[in-house]
Amino acid sequence: MNILFVMYDQLRFDYLSCAGHPHLQTPNFDRVAAMGVRFTNAYVQSPICGASRMSFYTGRYCASHGAQWNGFPLRVGEMTLGDHLRPLGMGCHLIGKTHMKADAAGMARLGLSPDSVICARQAECGFDPWVRDDGLWGQGPDGFYDDRRSPYNEYLKSRGYASDNPWADFANAGVDADGDIASGWMFDNADKPANIAEPDSETPWLTRRAIDFVDQADAPWLAHLSYIKPHWPYIVPAPYHAMYGPRHVPPANRHPVERRDPHPVYGAYMAGRVARAFQRDDVRAKVIPAYMGLVKQCDDQLGVLLDHLETTGRMADTMIVLTSDHGDYLGDHWLGEKDLFHEPSVKIPLIVYDPRPQADATRGTTCDALVEAIDLAPTFVEAAGGTVPDHILEGRSLLPWLHGETPDWRDFVVSEYDYSATPHCETLGLAPRDARLFMVFDGRFKLIHAEGGFRPMLFDLETDPREFHDLAKSGGHAAEIARLYEMLARWGRRLAQRVTRSDAEIVAGRGRSARKGILPFLVDGTEVPADLTARYRGKAPVRPDEPD
């Protein structure tokens, strides 16, 4: 079996028709959902791209892998999907984005040769890059945000898009009435079509690269097809720019009570530039239709890919996973972007299709178990025929759910957010190590703990599914808060770094030192079998003459 692990960037869990969106039709997502299981309570380990992805790729919490913000390198030696899958005979390939930053200092310290395959994989999150393109070719006074080569920009140039950065000038910009660039960075331009032929835009381009991959790949393979969209810049080519308009924009899920005496960290975010932009209805009216167009384009391209899998027979032997690295507030809770722990940010779409007959019983169903992003890595290991190394991978395989079983399962999920790199850390007067949030959610109550001496936040999603009422504001609910803090404490004591010895190895190793002559705490030797002490019995050897 192969695994097609598709990630969209910043795709909200509820912007799919199978998840109930009132206006957006996503028949191809729905098609996979009809063939597989849609997980309705799937959460990321961090609502920020890089940290979240490192958790997907390592199968470990952010506090375990340490790459807690975009651009914080993943420490050398931290095992990723490829390290787990290749020994099982499964290749591990990248088509698109990882947001991985290599630990150049660590690799240099270990003397890893930069041109070796091992080093290339260390630098690419363990993947063999079929296409590596992180999708953000921003360029400013200090140069490119991403200083690697851009296969997508190379493609555009080869197609005649005349610019040193066609990503910026064509794919992510329109043209205004004066013939000037209307950059997709500015929300004012979100309703314009991107100045690019639709087939040349990012999502179709990457889909074709994926089809190229599938057509030549040696099975079994895992391909991580990782789209930059519907991530900002919010601009989409025709005809998608015109498919949705202000009438398709749901009202913002926000309430005045949220702005009254908010938690200081939430308050700082609501006061930030991102939030202020998304608090404007005119911004939402322009941006959300563009976002929906980007999702619609993703869905159409998913259809192209699914058709190709059908035609080539790959649908019968390929597991398909559709997910995202986090959501997008889009103005809900007076916020934009992701970052905090309300559902639009921390909850993700997760649809898994397993082609094998064992999964027939669950096709087209949903599963409301508390799922974490780190569950995919063990799912893949098990799908590849391996035993999950649970001393390294902190998630749990989803295969039992896919196969109609009801496994013992976690009673809470944890997500983390490290905002030390943001201006909010400074605004709040925090040391970088204190700019950290932890979410604990038990399926009903959601506690957010903030380092730095702040009170927690608490939401009851049963009585307040829209998450307006921070119950910790009033100082009440001590018992619930204590209960969730106890869960967080339990999580804090988890076994996360004993990665060089499995439980099975530990059990098998017990008693071995005695068989290698380590015999402390024997009074006279009769306490153990005679063969263990045989080495230490018999005539004493003769001592040499005294040294000078």
Could you say which of 188, 382, 464, 480 contacts a second copy (CB under 8 A)?
188
Q: In the stretch 213-242, what mask flags binding to a second copy with x, by CB under 8 A?
A: -------------------xx---------
Looking at the chain, how many residues does it have? 548
Among 29, 227, 341, 438, binds a second copy (CB under 8 A): 438
54-73 binders of a second copy (CB under 8 A):
63-69, 71-73
Residues 527-546 interacting with a second copy (rule: CB under 8 A) = 527, 531-546
Least distance from a second copy to the Cβ atom of residue 352, Å: 27
Name 303's Cβ contacts closer than 8 Å, sequence gap at least 6: 27, 28, 31
Q: Which range touches a second copy (CB under 8 A), out of 172-180, 256-264, 289-297, 393-401?
A: 172-180
Contacts 24+ apart (CB under 8 A), 423-430: 423/272, 424/265, 424/268, 424/269, 424/272, 427/268, 427/271, 428/264, 428/265, 428/268, 428/452
| Residue with Cβ nearer a second copy (22 or 453) | 453
End-to-end CA distance of the chain: 74
Instruction: Please count the residues of this chain forming the interface with a second copy, following the rule CB under 8 A.
Output: 138
**Cα–Cα distance for residue pair 336/279, rounded to 1 Å:** 8
Mark 374-393 with x for binding to a second copy (rule: CB under 8 A) and - for no binding.
-----------------x--
Interface pattern 444-463 for a second copy (x via CB under 8 A): -----x-x------------
Enumerate the β-bridge partners of residue 415: 439
Given the complex with a second copy, which of 101 and 446 has the nearer CB atom? 101
Site string for a second copy, 274-303 (x = CB under 8 A): x--xx-x--x--------------------
Beta carbons within 10 angstroms of residue 502's beta carbon: 15
CA atoms within a 13 Å half-sphere pointing along the CA-CB vector of 92: 23
Nearer to a second copy, 25 or 533 (CB): 533
Residues 462-481 interacting with a second copy (rule: CB under 8 A): none
In the complex, the smallest distance separating the C-beta of residue 431 from a second copy, rounded to whole angstroms, is 7
Assess 177 for contact with a second copy (CB under 8 A): no
CA distances for 146 relative to 137, 169, 174, 231, angstroms: 6, 16, 22, 16
Q: Are 277 and 209 within 8 A, CB to CB?
A: no
Q: What whole-number distance in Å separates Cα of residue 330 and Cα of residue 464?
A: 20
- What is the smallest separation between the CB atom of 267 and a second copy, expressed in angstroms? 18
Which parts of 122-161 interact with a second copy (CB under 8 A)?
122, 136, 138-145, 159-161
In which order are the strands placed within the sheet that holds 371-372?
347-348, 42-43, 371-372
Stretch near a second copy under the rule CB under 8 A, chosen from 169-177, 211-219, 261-269, 314-322 = 169-177
Query: How many angstroms separate the CA atoms of 422 and 419, rounded?
Result: 5
- Among positions 34, 285, 370, 496, the unique one binding a second copy when judged by CB under 8 A: 496
